[in-house]
Amino acid sequence: MKTPNERMNITINQKQFERIIDYNQIKKRIRLIGIQLNVTYENQHPVFIGVLNGCFMVMADLMKQIHIASEISFVKLASYEGTSQRDQVSELIGLDCNLEGREVVIVEDIVDTGNSLRHTLDAVYAQKPASVAVCTLLLKPKALQHSFDNIAYVGFEIDNEFVVGYGLDYGGIGRTLPDIYREVVPAK
């Protein structure tokens, strides 16, 4: 069995990755976000909308911290090819609940360019919700191509690097890693 320090670097499809955030840090941050959400929505009945596939681990751990009346729904989008973000976002599964007059919390694994989030927000706002807040585990401020005023809950801000683990993948691999890893780019 390897010790935690021996597992700090991994290889996925011939790409090297190094650990940047361990699961204990993630759990602590999600617990704090859960407390904030419980306080903010104490006397309301929010709908949490997870953006699949990447959000499944964040959403599962976050919902364990939510102790208020709430509902859960999901959308599924495709915006990556390999390690490259596409400009076009494909909607694979759309909204399946009425959000009119409701408090909505969109749960993302990562907001980088913001293309997927913009797509989701457009679909949510079309239903005239009472309010919309965004909760994301990871935020890449330097990669944003859109302006958002409703990103209210952020786990960690990271540099504009490709990351895997804790729901994030590279070619379908790495989603089940408990920690988050960034790609190690060889020096030129």
Using one digit for the tens of pLDDT, what is the confidence trace for 124-141? 999 999 999 999 999 999
Give the residue among 141, 123, 143, 144 at the shortest CA–CA distance from 132: 123
Q: Which residue has the higher pLDDT, 186 or 138?
A: 138
pLDDT, residue 150, reads 93
Q: Is the dihedral of CA 64, 159, 142, 90 positive or negative?
A: negative
Give the residue among 142, 138, 161 at the shortest CA–CA distance from 29: 138
Q: Which domains are delineated in the chain?
A: 47-79+88-164 (3.40.50.2020)
Give the residue among 177, 73, 184, 85 at the shortest CA–CA distance from 129: 73
Statement: residue 168 has pLDDT above 60? yes
pLDDT, residue 81, reads 52
pLDDT, residue 65, reads 98
- State pTM to two decimals: 0.87
pLDDT, residue 119, reads 86
Q: Is the dihedral of CA 178, 144, 59, 175 positive or negative?
A: negative
Mean pLDDT for 63-72 is: 97
Statement: residue 27 has pLDDT above 90? yes
Task: Give the mean pLDDT of the chain.
Answer: 89
Q: Which of 17-21, 96-100, 106-110 has the lowest mean pLDDT?
A: 96-100
Statement: residue 90 has pLDDT above 80? no
Active-site residue list: 112
Cα separation, 112 vs 146, whole angstroms: 10
pLDDT, residue 5, reads 45
pLDDT, residue 125, reads 95
- Classify the phi-psi angles of 52: left when phi > 0, otherwise alpha if psi is within -120 to 50, otherwise beta: beta
